[in-house]
């Protein structure tokens, strides 16, 4: 049987991003902690995200 997991960061008022697409409200960690993302990615077969989210994630390394 296929298991589907939804993993999403939302603000308390239910929004994912600001109206301009910014996710600057998400906390950052200068220590380099990945908060379990590497383990999570190793446990899934497929990861789906929209184009805007993908482009936002690519910009995090800049």
How do residues 6-35 score in pLDDT, each as one tens digit?
Answer: 878 788 888 888 888 788 877 776 777 887
Task: Give the pLDDT mean for 32-50.
Answer: 85
Query: What are the angstrom distances between the C-alpha of 54 and each of 1, 2, 3, 13, 59?
Result: 28, 24, 23, 23, 9
pLDDT of amino acid 62: 62
pLDDT of amino acid 34: 80
Phi, psi (rounded to 5 degrees) for 57 = -65, -40
58 sits in which H/E element:
helix 51-59
Every domain of the chain and the residues it spans? 1-62
Contact by Cβ (8 Å): 21, 53: no
pLDDT of amino acid 41: 86
pLDDT range class, residue 50, cuts 50, 70, 90: confident
């Amino acid at each position: 049987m296929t298991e589907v997991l939804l993993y999403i960061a939302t603000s308390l008022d239910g929004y994912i991003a600001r109206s301009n697409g910014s996710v600057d409200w998400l906390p950052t960690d200068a220590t380099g902690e990945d908060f379990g993302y590497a383990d999570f990615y190793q446990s899934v077969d497929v990861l789906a995200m929209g184009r805007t989210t993908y482009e936002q994630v690519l910009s995090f390394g800049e």
